[in-house]
Amino acid sequence: MKTVSTLLLFGATGDLSHRMLLPSLYGLHVDGLLPADFRIVATARSKFDDAAFRASAVDALKDHVPADFFDDAKAGEFVSRLSYVPLDATQRDGFDRLAEKIDPAGGLAIFLSTAPSLFKPTIDGLASAGLTGEDVRLALEKPLGTDLASSREINDAVAAAFPEERTFRIDHYLGKETVQNLLALRFANSTFEPLWNSAHIDHVQITVAETVGLEGRAGYYDSAGALRDMVQNHMLQLVALVAMEPPANFDATSVRDEKVKVLRSLRAIGSDDIATHVVTGQYGNGAVGDQPVGSYTSELGKPSSTETFVALKAHVDNWRWSGVPFYLRTGKRMAARKTEIFIQFKCVPHSIFASRGARTQANKLVISIQPEENIRLLVMAKTPGLDRQGLRLREIALDVAMADAFADARRRIAYERLLLDLVEGDPTLFVRRDEVEAQWQWIDDVRAACREAGLEPRNYGAGSWGPSAAIALTERDGVHWHD
């Protein structure tokens, strides 16, 4: 695909645009990665003109770009690329006015940062205005439905105007450097890949913990819950990257083919498995840091049975991962903010040091994604000394702090990579339709099993690591969560 000359940004006055998209585009501009003639046409319902929107964009950059990277002159250059067209996506006639601002001959990328309910009317409006041609590609933000059926409706509406090769579904986790480094760690080093299987790995843990509550997303979150908001997309993508087979090439088709094989290999969880495989929770009163916080229902303002925490025991049923449990957990108002992948290797089959009083521990690999990007390998080493009281071994960490290892490289927002790939037409780090639908199929089965088993969210105190039943979920297998 060729590089496009125009980006059409829907939802341009929203929170995502201010916090992520405009700062990301500014970063690409500063680094000279956007074509000289590249233009950004922004649209939303707000009644701005070009000058007012440019002023609001500068304010957003000042608020969300690191102070040492923000520059008034460069911000002025960047916003000169911006123009604004007010638009109500439910009104077809507004799209003709929008089309007057766009020259599709140079290629057009469209980014929909809107509610899913607006996807179809927006696509219909774009089609009626002649903005869905062969040189036009479309990016969509999650959520892509609330279940498999609604996801298929959205995908069908998109496919009516944009074939799969011109559709870019965004999961911003795939733009994070450490997530991409997981592929480099596995497939660019001979050290790990020979060990990356059930013969050498005991189990895998993936944690996505948040300290925040609803943050103004009450309406959406209460209708979604942790399973659909976090597990269906981000966490299952991480499972796929951990568990995938080596692709033949690092290209969109090869990588995504291997990911979808993993998603289709996830073992279904039935109602008889719920007691040992699924725990849900909802936060009550507590404290995060030193600040007291109220319960989910007090924050929501009404009673609710929506889960704000979920822990799962999953299995990938194929040769590589037979018998290896994948423990997943995510929640709001938890003890600390962190996203990490924890790989527990198996112990050595025989310790030659046991007769000398030494204890060995299994090696561990910790891939930290946020708040800090870090790769840590925990290995055994001998404690210095003459060993007259017995030989001692100690677990030590071999750290690769990304900020230190690449101190000469600017730390980028995940959306910088994704927006640049969209502009240049590289779909490798975007999610294909069959991936999305495989993820929804598994989540729908889990939710149906939970309903059949009558599973209700357990209370946990805000500022904790979730309900105690989540600890039992792993400890019955002799496993402890990596907190």
In this structure, are residues 142 and 171 in contact, taking their beta carbons and an 8 Å threshold? Answer: yes
How far is residue 115's CA from residue 223's CA, in Å, rounded to a whole number?
A: 14
How far is residue 112's CA from residue 44's CA, in Å, rounded to a whole number?
A: 11
The answer to whether 203 is a known catalytic residue is no
* Nearest Cα to Cα of residue 369 among 113, 140, 185: 185
Q: Of these residues, 29, 203, 234, 277, which one is catalytic? A: 234
The 10 Å CB-count burial string (b at 16+, else e) for 221-243 is bbebbbbbbbbbbbbbbbbbbbb
Q: Who contacts 223 (Cβ-Cβ below 8 Å, separation ≥6)?
A: 146, 306
The two structure tokens encoding residue 85: 């067209």
Cα atoms found within 13 Å of the Cα of residue 298, Cβ hemisphere only: 9
How far is residue 218's CA from residue 211's CA, in Å, rounded to a whole number?
A: 16
Token pair 């969210």: residue:
457
Phi and psi torsions of 386, nearest 5°: -90, -5
What does each C-alpha distance from 251 to 4, 113, 425 come to in angstroms? 20, 26, 12
Q: Is the peptide bond before 371 cis (omega within 30 degrees of 0)?
A: yes
Residues taking part in catalysis: 234
